[in-house]
Amino acid sequence: DIQMTQSPSTLSASVGDRVTITCRASQSISSWLAWYQQKPGKAPKLLIYKASSLESGVPSRFSGSGSGTEFTLTISSLQPDDFATYYCQHLRTFGQGTKVEIK
Amino acid sequence: QVQLQESGPGLVKPSQTLSLTCTVSGGSISSGDYYWSWIRQPPGKGLEWIGYIYYSGSTYYNPSLKSRVTISVDTSKNQFSLKLSSVTAADTAVYYCARADSSIAGFFDPWGQGTLVTVSS
């Protein structure tokens, strides 16, 4: 199976910061990647699919890019509601998660 | 819009079988555009895909759990179910049901709220 590796595992940032999370696939997956946001005690929420398509209702400060084996999720200006854990996913495999904490 | 809701016991004894049901509302489970999935998350850990089922009954399971997992569908009730046998403490987790896009994109949306299942005597 294809392995998905996220970095960093934890990220400390302040409100207003530009934040970038990376997800690497062990082999090329074209653009078949999704990103989710999960808050404590809640189910994951789809943010991005097909690497760069923004799910309806998701704020435009979230964006995704990449293809092949390297992908990024960017939050252009971090808001208080964005402190959460983020996961990438390809088919049946999830990355290990990146926790975005308050600096 | 489509909503999913998990139900089942929150406590299961070691060696017994965990059984959960996911009820789909706001849409038909017989839509050919989706797979119906189970995903779990041990406390403080990441997400693990368990398996999914197509409305026709075709199933796909995580190889690491395949020998213990059965997923079934009841289209008349718009439900699908998970059975995990011979459970141990390592199976303690929040169990989510989710709809998976059946195209190669394969993303999960929406998700149920999740249900915590604890394996303990």
pLDDT digits (tens, 9 = 90+) for B89-118: 999 999 999 999 888 778 999 999 999 999
Please compute the mean of the pLDDT values over residues B70-84 and round it to a whole number.
97
Distance CA A52, CA A72 (A): 9
Distance CA B26, CA B13 (A): 34
pLDDT of residue B106: 86
Cα of B109 to nearest chain A Cα, Å: 6
Contact A92 B107 (CB under 8 A): no
- Residues A74-88 as b or e (16 or more Cβ within 10 Å = b): ebeebeeebbbbbbb
| pLDDT tens digits along A17-65 | 999 999 999 999 999 999 999 999 999 999 999 999 999 999 999 999 9
Cα of B105 to nearest chain A Cα, Å: 5
Contacts of B48 in chain A (CB under 8 A): 94
Scanning every residue of chain B, which has its alpha carbon at the shortest distance from the alpha carbon of A94? B47
pLDDT of residue B32: 80
Per-chain mean pLDDT for chain A: 97
pLDDT of residue A30: 95
pLDDT of residue A46: 97
Per-chain mean pLDDT for chain B: 95
Angle at A90 between CA B74 and CA B63, to 5 degrees: 60
Contact of B9 with B21, CB cutoff 8 Å: no
Distances (CA, A) of B17 to A71, B81, B82, B88: 39, 13, 10, 10
